[in-house]
């Protein structure tokens, strides 16, 4: 057993060093949108918001957008079969500002996920040069649109995605969000979207800005109509298809409360955890094993009686800790000191993977925005 641990931890240190070097190089090309100038008045930006049962969030989000310094904006707000007061709130907002247009959807056609269909229908009513896909719980500082559009045009992009500040008020939720970003960063390597020679792309639901021409040339949301991780897939697939893309941070311009509690986070991740693992059982086991070996076990074996295992455990903790601090300082406003509870948070993350995968199989699919989608349908669209 000790020999196995020595081999695993030796490989682990090497892997962490590779990830660390990759991140250091990648973050050199990751810009902060706050430093950007604003675009002078120009073409129309169409903001597409698809909402289902968002009565608690949507008004504050839209009101923050109406204050934007870039004024050539129209809003296409799509009420996706809401059963609460969301539709009425949208209608009230439409009365406040003539640039807001509301579309109510009552039925979901076969072969579509609800949100993806709603976003697609919204684009059919958009007249802007650019399309901004955002969520109903996102809040913006007044310079956000203007700075993003200036950056978009300066770099002659087809798609720009911005990492917002993921607000979390409770300690364990904050640690969970931080760990999620940490894992997402070294697993998906989002900074590679800024490398024009790479086919790796990314996308974030809070802020996916795309030129309408590129979006239509790509094939619209029809290309990803059964993907619960539509935001990520839009960026990944457009980059793979050769479209120009970049990711920036916007931690002081865009904010979203990812989830209100740890329980909500577990429920929310039910829909896209298995999709993010490409619907493969092998990837589920690999992820669980990888997270435990790299982020839990070294914190236990550091108390081993074997000096070499202790040193290798310490090496894994230090190298992963440096990467964690680097990611957290660049991608969030949280304290890097959250690394101190990483082994506990990693176990919570493992639980979320097991829970989401189990429920997906138990239900035969996922439940999202009030609709059940069969696993066979989701896999068929891969």
pLDDT tens digits for range 65-76:
999 999 999 999
DSSP 53: S
For the chain, 382 residues long, give each residue's pLDDT as a single digit of tens.
888 999 999 999 999 999 999 999 999 999 999 999 999 989 999 999 999 999 999 999 999 999 999 999 999 999 999 999 999 999 999 999 999 999 999 999 988 999 999 999 999 999 999 999 999 999 999 999 999 999 999 999 999 999 999 998 889 999 999 999 999 898 889 999 999 999 999 999 999 999 999 999 999 999 999 998 999 999 999 999 999 999 999 999 999 988 888 998 998 888 878 777 777 888 889 999 999 999 999 999 999 989 999 999 999 999 999 999 999 999 999 999 999 999 999 999 999 999 998 888 888 888 777 777 877 777 655 5
DSSP structural state of residue 160: E
Q: How far is Cα 328 from Cα 338, in angstroms, rounded to an integer?
A: 9
| Residue range(s) of every CATH 3.90.550.10 domain in the chain | 31-168+187-259
Q: What burial letters (b/e) apply to 50-82, b meaning 16+ CB within 10 Å? A: bbbbbbebbbebbebbbebebebbbbbbbbbbb
Report pLDDT for 169: 85
Tokens of 84: 């609460």
Question: What pLDDT sits at residue 381?
Answer: 54
Q: Report the distance separating Cα 222 and Cα 301, nearest Å.
A: 49
CA geometry: angle 126, 131, 132, nearest 5 deg: 125
The pLDDT score that the predictor gives to residue 259 is: 84
Name, in order, each residue with C-beta under 8 angstroms of 242's C-beta and a sequence gap of 6 or more: none
Interval 257-289: pLDDT, tens? 888 889 989 988 888 787 777 778 888 899 999
Tell me the C-alpha distance between 137 and 62, whole Å. 9
What is the C-alpha separation between 86 and 224, in angstroms, rounded?
A: 25
Do residues 290 and 298 touch, judged by C-beta distance below 8 A? no
Q: Which residues pair with 366 in a beta bridge?
A: 373
The residue with tokens 């997270």 is 291
Record the pTM.
0.91
Right CATH for 31-168+187-259 from 3.40.50.20, 3.90.550.10, 3.40.190.10, 3.30.750.24: 3.90.550.10
């Amino acid at each position: 057993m000790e020999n196995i641990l020595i081999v695993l931890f030796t490989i682990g240190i090497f892997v962490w060093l590779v990830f660390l070097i990759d991140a250091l190089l990648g973050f050199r090309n990751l810009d902060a949108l706050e430093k950007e100038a604003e675009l002078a008045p120009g073409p129309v930006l169409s903001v597409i918001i698809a909402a289902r049962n968002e009565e608690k969030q949507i008004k504050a989000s839209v009101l923050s957008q109406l204050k934007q310094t870039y004024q050539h904006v129209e809003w296409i707000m799509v009420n996706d079969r809401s059963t609460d007061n969301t539709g009425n709130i949208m209608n009230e907002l439409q009365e406040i500002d003539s640039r807001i247009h509301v579309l109510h959807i009552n039925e979901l056609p076969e072969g579509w996920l609800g949100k993806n269909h709603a976003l697609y229908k919204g684009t059919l009513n958009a007249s802007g040069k650019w399309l901004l896909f955002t969520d109903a719980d996102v809040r913006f500082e007044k310079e956000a649109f203007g700075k993003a559009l200036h950056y978009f045009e300066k770099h002659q992009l087809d798609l720009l995605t911005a990492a917002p500040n993921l607000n979390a008020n409770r300690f364990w939720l904050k640690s969970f969000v931080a760990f999620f970003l940490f894992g997402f960063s070294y697993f998906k390597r989002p900074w590679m979207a800024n490398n024009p020679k790479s086919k790796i792309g990314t996308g974030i639901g809070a802020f996916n800005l795309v030129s309408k021409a590129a979006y239509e040339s790509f094939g619209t949301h029809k290309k990803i109509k059964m993907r619960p991780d539509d935001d990520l897939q839009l960026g990944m697939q457009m980059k793979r298809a050769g479209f120009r893309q970049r990711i920036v941070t916007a931690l002081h311009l865009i904010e979203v409360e990812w989830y209100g509690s740890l329980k909500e986070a577990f429920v929310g991740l039910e829909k896209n955890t298995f999709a993010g693992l490409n619907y493969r059982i092998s990837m589920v086991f690999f992820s669980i094993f990888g997270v435990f070996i790299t982020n839990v076990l070294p914190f236990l074996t550091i108390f081993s009686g074997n000096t070499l295992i202790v040193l290798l455990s310490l090496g894994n903790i230090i190298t992963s800790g440096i990467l964690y601090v680097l990611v957290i300082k660049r991608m969030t406003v949280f304290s890097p000191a959250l690394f101190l509870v990483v082994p506990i948070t990693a176990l919570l993350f493992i639980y979320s993977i097991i829970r989401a995968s189990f429920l997906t199989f138990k239900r035969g699919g996922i439940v999202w925005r009030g609709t059940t989608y069969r696993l066979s349908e989701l896999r068929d669209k891969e």
